[in-house]
Amino acid sequence: MPPAAASVNAAPRLLFFITNPAFLVSHRLPVALAARDAGYEVHVASMGGPAVAQLEALGFTHHALPLSRTSMRPWTEARSLWAIWRLFRRVRPDLVHTVTLKSVLYGGIAARLAGVPAYVAAISGLGYVFIPGAGLRGLLRRLALILYRLALGHPNSRVIFQNTADRDVLAQAGAVRPGQAVLLRGSGVDLDRYAPAPWPPEPVTVALAARLLRDKGVGEFIEAARLSAARGDGVRWRLAGSLDRENPASVQPEELQAWQADGVVEYVGECDDVAGFYAQAHIVTLPSYREGLPKSLIEAAACGRPVVTTDVPGCRDAIEPDVSGLLVPARDGRALADAIGRLAADAALRERMGAAGRALAERDFGLDGIVQAHLAVYRELLGR
């Protein structure tokens, strides 16, 4: 027998399923807190990690699962899927909300098999395999589309997209039904915490805050910094973020050491205060190859900083081109250096674009609106 939905008068049981609990804390915690405050019984299923204690301290029930972010071994993955299905059968959630690629794919399949009454999939970017390319990447892309069709086939579900390009890819592949897609522009930003700060003193400083992955455009950032230094632009380049050793696209430690030794980039390590990091910058950049809707750029907009980013899905959706920032081609360090050089040479343009970014954040990216839109999706699926 499939699990039964909670009665209308009982507290609905909401289960967030996510591979890494730290991502829930950094990207979906306001939604989880709002659901708790609205009367939901909130559960979180994930692998272990330091963030688990924080989630439990907030009153959420945590369930540990045997998960790996990067494993491709069939037996390991089958064991994970089995454990997810068993957990769903035992906890009997009224609604499962999955976030990030593996949890969306496995959670969607398990929710259908376990008879979970309602399902939400948050597509925070289609990821590496949907960056244009052939060979192994093309094969993985075809496999991913098959899994998406299975995972998103729940009859009472919504799929939350952060940009129209990702929505259109899955709709054209037959993985998303008409009326199933919901477009929410990112995770939202706290407009009080991320507020415009006074412009710092010169030299003009450009900031990149991201995981140190090749597909975040870190290599192009370094290339642009070298070009800028060679032509005497006088720009200071600052990089914040951590290595992600489990990710095959990660920058290697020896590369990072070499960049620091070159002296063209100032590496500040992992940054817990992004607003403070941006307050020390005149320009923010993210030369990524593909995104959902990058949190770092909507935070930059809220902070009133002009943005230089790539003309790819997700990144282009985070700015108003030529109004709040500039677009450059992906994988083009010279174009990145030129765009940043243009802003570095024009303080008035920086100020206009920074003000336009703040207005964009207030209009489209405010945290409260994003949170309330999530709760509206929950209510619709649960008939409340």
pLDDT at residue 2 in the model? 45
Cis, bond preceding 203 (omega within 30 deg of 0): yes
**Domain check: are 316 and 237 in the same one?**
yes
Angle at 351 between CA 212 and CA 302, to 5 degrees: 50
Whether residue 30 is contained in a domain is answered as yes
pLDDT at residue 140 in the model? 80
Strand partners, 13: 41
Which whole number is the average pLDDT over 200-225?
97
**Domain check: are 38 and 164 in the same one?**
yes
pLDDT at residue 137 in the model? 66
Q: What is the pLDDT of residues 28-49, one digit of tens each?
A: 999 999 999 999 999 999 999 9
User: What are the start-end ranges of the E strands in the chain?
Assistant: 13-18, 41-46, 61-64, 95-99, 118-123, 157-161, 181-183, 205-209, 236-240, 266-267, 283-286, 307-310, 325-328
**Domain check: are 140 and 254 in the same one?**
no
Instruction: Count structural domains, the chain.
Output: 2
Please report where in the chains the tokens 């706290």 appear, as a residue. Answer: 190
**Domain check: are 359 and 372 in the same one?**
no
In angstroms, the CA 106 to CA 85 distance is 9
Domain that holds residue 53: 13-188+367-382
Angle between helices 333-344 and 218-230 (to 10 degrees): 60
CATH of the domain at 100: 3.40.50.2000
Q: What is the pLDDT of residues 130-188, one digit of tens each?
A: 766 656 667 788 888 999 999 999 999 999 999 999 999 999 999 999 899 999 988 89
**Selected residue with higher pLDDT from 146 and 248:** 146
**Domain check: are 210 and 353 in the same one?**
yes
pLDDT at residue 129 in the model? 65
Q: What is the pLDDT of residues 9-28, one digit of tens each?
A: 689 999 999 999 999 999 99
**Domain check: are 179 and 250 in the same one?**
no
Q: Which two tokens stand for residue 23?
A: 């991502």
Computed over every residue of the chain, the mean pLDDT equals 93
DSSP-based three-state secondary structure for 211: coil
**Domain check: are 167 and 63 in the same one?**
yes
pLDDT at residue 378 in the model? 98
Beta pairing, strands 61-64 & 95-99: unpaired
Q: What is the pLDDT of residues 319-362, one digit of tens each?
A: 999 999 999 999 999 999 999 999 999 999 999 999 999 999 99
> Which residues contact residue 70 at a Cβ distance below 8 angstroms, ignoring those fewer than 6 apart?
246, 247, 248
pLDDT at residue 142 in the model? 84
Percent pLDDT > 90 in the chain is: 83
Tell which residue, 265, 274, 316, has the closest CA to residue 296: 274
User: What are the start-end ranges of the E strands in 76-156?
Assistant: 95-99, 118-123
Tell which residue, 190, 164, 170, has the closest CA to residue 292: 164
Q: How confident is the model at residue 4 (pLDDT cuts 50, 70, 90)?
A: very low
Whether residue 6 is contained in a domain is answered as no
Q: What is the pLDDT of residues 57-110, one digit of tens each?
A: 999 999 999 887 666 677 888 899 999 999 999 999 999 999 988 999 999 999
**Domain check: are 155 and 212 in the same one?**
no
**Domain check: are 209 and 127 in the same one?**
no
Which whole number is the average pLDDT over 277-295?
96
pLDDT at residue 72 in the model? 67
Determine contact, residues 124/86, Cβ cutoff 8 Å: no
